[in-house]
Amino acid sequence: MSRRKKRKVPLTQRFREYRFFFLLLVAFLFPLVDRNPYHIDMLVTAGVFMLLASGLHVIVGYAGVLNLGYAALFAVGAYTFALLNLHWKISFWIGLGASAFTTALFGMLLVFPVLRLTGDYLAIVTLGAGEIVRIALNNMDSLTGGPNGLLGIEHPSLPLTHYSFGVDSAPYYYLILLLVLLVVFALCRLESSRLGRAWVALREDELAASSMGINPAWVKLSAFGIGGFVAGLAGCFFAAKQGTISPDSFDFVVSVTVLAMVVLGGLGNIYGALLGAFILSLLPEFLRGFEIYRMLLFGLALILMMLFRPQGILGEARRN
């Protein structure tokens, strides 16, 4: 009896087992089927937000620290690569690593002095830091080009060949797909590691965690470091793709939108963050037909989505 039951796997369950590969196949084939560069560009933007959301998820979802200034880290990543490229002709691939490590260091230095703050006090410091970075980018004209930003950042090219990505969308699409996959893989591995479990323990009960020998300061610091690392990757990619960056791309609205992506997807689950990023980055595109009502409807959509699913779309999948 039971053996016969086991052999008959329903189609939905079979899909569930292989859904990852199925989604990957769809993602891989998409630019080959739909050659509209506008659509591919939309997905590249979605990819950047997926990177950002998974990075922020480390800080907000795993470590449970509310961060209201994540765009600052994104900005540091983008400006690091832009400056390296413009002044020393550093290539994209080296810049990717350099941006990631610089941003990780920046994230850690940012919270290092304020680690003894708890809860929303830490959140307001991240908010303040985000504003400080944005205003600094606007006012340090000689270094950052002020409100006009930096122009003429080199597009990536394949190493050992002369193939440049240029303004074509498809190569960026595959690059961001690869980056998202690598980051998600790494974060999933990290989630079940000693550090990942320490994050979750800290989030659930700081006092209990610290009495079990977890050092809250170090664990929070590492969350900001890794969150910063991912933001650095996203920032470097963004700068190389756009070729030009300005402080406008890194304001408070970006921080808040990425946070909304993470919360909407469902906290405590990295796939939720990815799904939230995918939905919220494409939603304004679908609302484009409504012209001036677009942001109004976006706000309304945020409210309604939260009301109907307070725990987030994939929120219930959290393991206890």
Binding site for another protein (CB under 8 A): 60, 66, 113-114, 116-118, 120-121, 123-125, 127-129, 131-132, 135-136, 138-139, 207, 252, 256, 259-260, 263-264, 267, 292-293, 295-296, 298-303, 306-307, 310-312, 315
Residue 18 or 121: the one with the smaller Cβ distance to another protein is 121
Shortest distance in whole angstroms from residue 106 CB to another protein: 15
CB nearer another protein, residue 113 or residue 213: 113
Would you say 94 or 306 has its CB closer to another protein?
306
Write the DSSP assignment of the chain as a string of letters. Answer: -HHHHHH---HHHHHHHHHHHHHHHHHHHHHHH---HHHHHHHHHHHHHHHHHHHHHIIIIIS----S-HHHHHHHHHHHHHHHHHHH---HHHHHHHHHHHHHHHHHHHHGGGTT--HHHHHHHHHHHHHHHHHHHHH-HHHH-GGG-B--PPPPB-TTS--B-TT-SHHHHHHHHHHHHHHHHHHHHHHTSHHHHHHHHHHH-HHHHHHTT--HHHHHHHHHHHHHHHHHHHHHHHHHHHS-B-GGGGSHHHHHHHHHHHHHH-TT-HHHHHHHHHHHHHHHHHGGGGGGGHHHHHHHHHHHHHHH-TT-TTGGG---
- Which residue number, 31 or 276, has a Cβ lying nearer to another protein? 276
CB closer to another protein, 101 vs 298 = 298
Q: Closest approach of Cβ 127 to another protein, in Å? A: 7
Q: How far is the CB of 145 from another protein (least distance, A)?
A: 15
Output the smallest distance, CB 225 to another protein, in A. Answer: 19
Give the nearest distance from C-beta 116 to another protein in angstroms: 6
